[in-house]
Structure 1
């Protein structure tokens, strides 16, 4: 399978990965042949990319680091939490605990973790998918730091609920397509305090988990909010979630901003390490994130285009790439596979849509 921008998707292509709503309902099932009406509906839902299966991408397997059913259930959980809070009801803490337990179990059973997030989301459902991704990335970092299972659970709960205070922010600000005014920025920043106050009402949520909602926008150099804390004044949980939050936000399409390629987000985290983020944690994160995810289309310095089919764990900039020998993608198309780790004169110049 390969990841294709929706503007390049044509009727007759085969969907390689199912698309689900935030409520866990199947919108389009894996294996469906896409029609013009299906493609139009995906555009209406603000879904920008889909995974397709064709001759050039056959046998390329894109595996998420958590089970697909775990991801679907987690997104449904955070959807229900947000829904209940907006209705001024208490959310189901048992459901949150079960969700985090499933994510932790999936990640602890995965020995060679490379973050290759495969969730297909609409811009309107950003909050739910983002919360799950931040929890997954944070737990990966916590595992790398040697956290035990209990500590991973506390970190995961706080990460999953890190933006819960946004339920108190007006939708006119949350979903504003343009730049926020200064007064709107101040209102938005209050989501950290709101989140902490909400989670204080749940005695089963540890103070460290609650602190994530309050401090995940604090920065090492004191330029963050709400209190401008610096360095060791910021708890390690919040430092971890700050990195996960930034990476997933940058690599996600949102109502007001298009995503950037993973390599650009990684470059940003490296360049701001020890200013905005804890650079030691950034380095640990970089050991477990792929610069060029499997299924991504790339352009090489040879001017050829290809699909990333596998990653080299110790050479993240030099994956194995499948290159089409001619321009026709059909059952008889020919391709070659190049391991960039073994072909040092060939390198990736950029990622591209098609």
Structure 2
């Protein structure tokens, strides 16, 4: 299977992965043949991309680092928590705890974690899907740093609740489809303090988790907020969440900004690694991140196009690919698979939409 932008989807294509609503119900099941009616429905849901099964992606399996059902339950939970807080109901910490425990258990049972994270979220569900992704990515870093199980759960709580203060920000600012005005930016910055004020009322939430959520917009060079802390003045949880929050935000479509590809987001994290982010933690993160996710179409320096079918753990910029177009741009009649780790004269130039 492979990922296709919704504007490139045509009738007759086969859906490669189940599509869920934010309530956790299956909207369209894997294997269904897409019709114009289904495509229009997906467009109306502001769905940007879907997985499809076709000849060029034959036999390519795309696995997330956590079970899809676990992800859906976590998104449902944070969605409900945010809805409750907007109407001044109490935070359902037990539900959050159950969701994080499930994520931690799955990641601890996965010995060789490589992140191949492409979430089929719509623009409208960005906030809570983002919270789940940040939790998953943060726990991956924590595991790589040798955190014990209890510390991983505290980190997961901080990460999934890092944006909880946005429930106190007006919707017209949160969902504004263009750049925020200076005054609106200042209001938005209050979400970290608002979040801390919510979390401090719950004794079950550790001080480490609360502070991690409060400081996740601080930056190593002191340019962040709310306090302008520098370096080690910023808690370790917050330094982890700063990286994963940025990565997922950059690689996600939002109401005012289109996503960038994982390789470009990685370039940014590396370039800013000694200014905004803890460079050592950035390196840990990148050791578990696929630069070119499985199912991605890439252009090679040979001018051929290929689809990524697997990744090499220790050389993430040199995956195994399947050639699908020749140098003239024509689809090939026979597929050839190349391990770029063994063909050092062939390089990936860019990710492309097919």
TM-score bracket, shorter-length normalisation: over 0.9
Q: Retained in 2: the 8 A contact 1:325–1:335?
A: no
Contact 1:107 1:140 in 2 (8 A): yes
Q: Quote how far apart the aligned CAs of 1:29 are.
A: 1.1
Deviations 1:22-69 (A, max 9, x none): 110111111111111111121121111110001111110100000111
Segment of structure 1 superposing worse, 88-97 or 129-138? 88-97
Q: Please say if 1:308 is aligned against 2:298.
A: no
2: CA distance between counterparts of 1:170 and 1:352? 37
| Alpha-carbon distance between aligned partners in 2 of 1:231 and 1:162, rounded to the nearest angstrom | 20
Once the two structures are TM-superposed, the CA of residue 324 in structure 1 deviates from its matched residue by: 2.0
Distance (whole Å) between structure 2 residues aligned to residue 205 and residue 82 of structure 1? 17
- SS at structure 1 position matched to 2:344: coil
Partner of 2:181: 181
**3-state SS of paired residue (1:337):** strand
**Structure 1 unmatched ranges of 5 or more:** none
Distance 1:23 1:91 in 2: 18
User: How far 1:160 sits from its partner (Å)?
Assistant: 0.3
**Partner Cα distance (2:325, 2:143) in 1:** 42
Equivalent residues of 2:141, 2:284 under 8 A apart: yes
The whole-number CA distance in structure 2 between the counterparts of 1:298 and 1:47 is: 22
Q: What's 2:350 paired with?
A: 350
What pairs up with 1:174-253 in 2 under 5 angstroms? 174-253=174-253
Deviation at 1:325, TM superposition (A): 5.6
Deviation at 1:328, TM superposition (A): 5.2
Match of 1:103 in 2: 103
Equivalent-residue separation in structure 2 for 1:51 and 1:187 (angstroms): 37
Extract unaligned runs of 5+ from structure 2.
Answer: none
Q: How far is the alpha carbon of 1:312 from its aligned partner? A: 0.6
**Equivalent-residue separation in structure 2 for 1:104 and 1:89 (angstroms):** 27
Q: Under a length normalisation based on structure 2, what TM-score does the superposition of the two structures give?
A: 0.97
Correspondence 1:1-354 to 2 at 5 A: 1-324=1-324, 327=330, 333-354=333-354
**Change in 2 beyond 3 A, CA 1:221/1:4:** same
Q: How far apart, in 1, do the equivalents of 2:276 and 2:340 lie?
A: 33
1:63–1:118 contact (8 Å) kept in structure 2: no
Q: Shift in Å at residue 274 of structure 1?
A: 1.4
Deviations 1:179-238 (A, max 9, x none): 111100000000000000011111100011111221000000100001101111100000
Instruction: With a CA cutoff of 8 Å and minimum separation of 6, indicate the structure with the bigger relative contact order.
Output: 1
Q: Does structure 2 conserve the Cα–Cα contact (< 8 Å) formed by 1:14 and 1:34?
A: yes
Deviations 1:238-278 (A, max 9, x none): 00000000000000000000000001110000000111000
Partner SS for 1:133: helix
Q: CA RMSD in A?
A: 1.1
Instruction: Tell me the distance in 1 between the aligned counterparts of 2:57 and 2:46.
Output: 25
Q: Secondary structure at the match of 2:114?
A: coil
- How many residue pairs match? The answer is 351
2-side partners of 1:342 and 1:328: how far apart? 24
CA–CA distance in 2 between the matches of 1:201 and 1:210?
10
Is the contact made by 1:325 and 1:336 (CA closer than 8 Å) also made in structure 2? Answer: no
CA distance in 1, matches of 2:23, 2:202: 24
